[in-house]
Amino acid sequence: MIQYIVRRVLWMIALLFLVSAITFFIFYALPSADPAVLRAGKSPNPQLVEQIRHQLGLDKPLYEQYFDYMKNLLTKGDFGYSYQNNISVRTQIFQRLPATISLAVGAAILWLTVGILVGIISSTRPRSLIDRVSMGGALIAISAPVYFLGLVVLYLFADDIGLIKLFPGAGSYVPLSQDAGQWFGSLIMPWCVLAAAFAAFYARLLRSQMIDTMHEDYIRTARAKGLSERTVIFHHGVRAAITPIVTAAGLDIGVLLGGAILTETVFNIPGVGRLAYDSIINSDLPMIQGTVLLGAFFIVTANLIVDVAYAFVDPRVRY
């Protein structure tokens, strides 16, 4: 196991270097808006543009710019400075990260709880009324885009414009450090909207896996030994069928920690996803590079955690 983890960590490091190189090439080498021109303002003086290019190091060869960037990143943890406001990229990201973590973790707890429960209930009662209703609802939830569902929920339940004001503070994000109660109320709607499609997908996935698993020979053997149906379902059935859920959850949570752009934009949550969106709109290349690297780090780390978790979830897995 230790050797496997070491190999995966080395691959993670190599992959992050590759992602950084590709991102750097796409945004610095390919034709795009000149950061020096954007920073100089409207109708800039050519001499001023050249001076800004020199200050930003954009007049150096591309490989030298990348070498300087990676040197500062590895030795100082420095992601550079924003072309728009000259603020440290690292500072901006770490200021936005708590909001993204709050959104992703809360939504993950909600969709895993609902998705697994609905999937187990539907799989143990296939073709029943509750199975048809839950799978029909899951299909609707999967089909509803996040931005559409978010706008509908805001219209119905937002604290300022909503028709039904159920949640105090809903529709305007409040940091946890400021007020825990308002923080919870401000994230109820984003959690539900973000978790809806994921919960529906997980419920359908677990139902399909459980139906196949419950017809296996070892399930019949467990029942023949006199084990209770609860033990057969949860100890043998769910444990064998949940491996795809672990895979999907690891990847989905990793992606969301890198920034849930649509949800953060609709609900005006100052997270990493909203920061990435604003950076793309403003052609703020260092900020884009920083958010992409952060997202890649979360994804590859989630992959490693999922692969290690397989050995504990499914006893058939060996490394």
Who contacts 294 (Cβ-Cβ below 8 Å, separation ≥6)?
93, 97, 258, 259, 272
* 165 occurs within a structural domain: yes
Place of tokens 């100089």: 40
Give the model's pLDDT for residue 317: 63
Do 199 and 71 lie in a common domain? no
* 87 occurs within a structural domain: no
Domain count, the chain: 2
Do 71 and 153 lie in a common domain? no
Determine the Cα angle at 102 with ends 100 and 104, to 5°.
Answer: 65
Is the separation of the CB atoms in 76 and 62 below 8 Å? no
Q: Which of 47, 279, 43, 237 lies closest to 124 in space, CA to CA?
A: 237
Give the model's pLDDT for residue 77: 81
Who contacts 224 (Cβ-Cβ below 8 Å, separation ≥6)?
none
Do 145 and 256 lie in a common domain? yes
Who contacts 35 (Cβ-Cβ below 8 Å, separation ≥6)?
56, 58, 83, 283, 284, 285
Do 133 and 210 lie in a common domain? yes
* 246 occurs within a structural domain: yes
Is the separation of the CB atoms in 310 and 318 below 8 Å? no
Do 108 and 61 lie in a common domain? no
Q: Which range marks the domain in which residue 252 is found?
A: 95-313
**SS3 call for 81:** strand
Do 63 and 103 lie in a common domain? no
C-alpha to C-alpha distance for 22 and 295, rounded to whole angstroms: 14
Q: Which of 76, 103, 123 is the last residue of a domain?
A: 76
Who contacts 155 (Cβ-Cβ below 8 Å, separation ≥6)?
161, 162, 163
Give the model's pLDDT for residue 109: 92
Q: Which of 48, 76, 104 is the last residue of a domain?
A: 76
Place of tokens 């379902």: 233
Do 204 and 168 lie in a common domain? yes
Length of the chain: 319
Do 9 and 133 lie in a common domain? no
C-alpha to C-alpha distance for 86 and 235, rounded to whole angstroms: 55
Q: Which CATH number does the domain housing residue 179 bear?
A: 1.10.3720.10
Taking the model in full, what pTM does it have?
0.82
Gyration radius (Cα) of the chain, Å: 24
* 170 occurs within a structural domain: yes
Give the model's pLDDT for residue 66: 84
Per-residue pLDDT in tens (0 to 9) along the chain, 319 residues: 777 778 878 888 888 888 888 888 877 666 566 677 767 667 677 777 788 777 777 778 878 888 888 888 888 888 888 877 778 888 899 999 999 999 999 999 999 999 999 998 888 888 888 888 888 888 888 888 888 888 888 888 777 666 676 666 666 788 888 888 888 888 888 898 888 888 899 999 999 988 888 888 888 888 888 888 888 888 888 888 888 888 888 888 888 887 788 888 888 888 898 888 888 887 788 888 889 888 888 888 888 888 777 767 666 666 5
Q: Which of 20, 47, 76 is the last residue of a domain?
A: 76
C-alpha to C-alpha distance for 238 and 112, rounded to whole angstroms: 13
What is residue 33's DSSP assignment?
A: -
Do 10 and 116 lie in a common domain? no
Distances (CA, A) of 11 to 16, 18, 89, 294, 307: 9, 10, 26, 16, 13
* 72 occurs within a structural domain: yes
Place of tokens 């230790």: 2
* 190 occurs within a structural domain: yes
* 81 occurs within a structural domain: no
* 122 occurs within a structural domain: yes
Do 111 and 167 lie in a common domain? yes
Do 37 and 106 lie in a common domain? no
Do 56 and 158 lie in a common domain? no
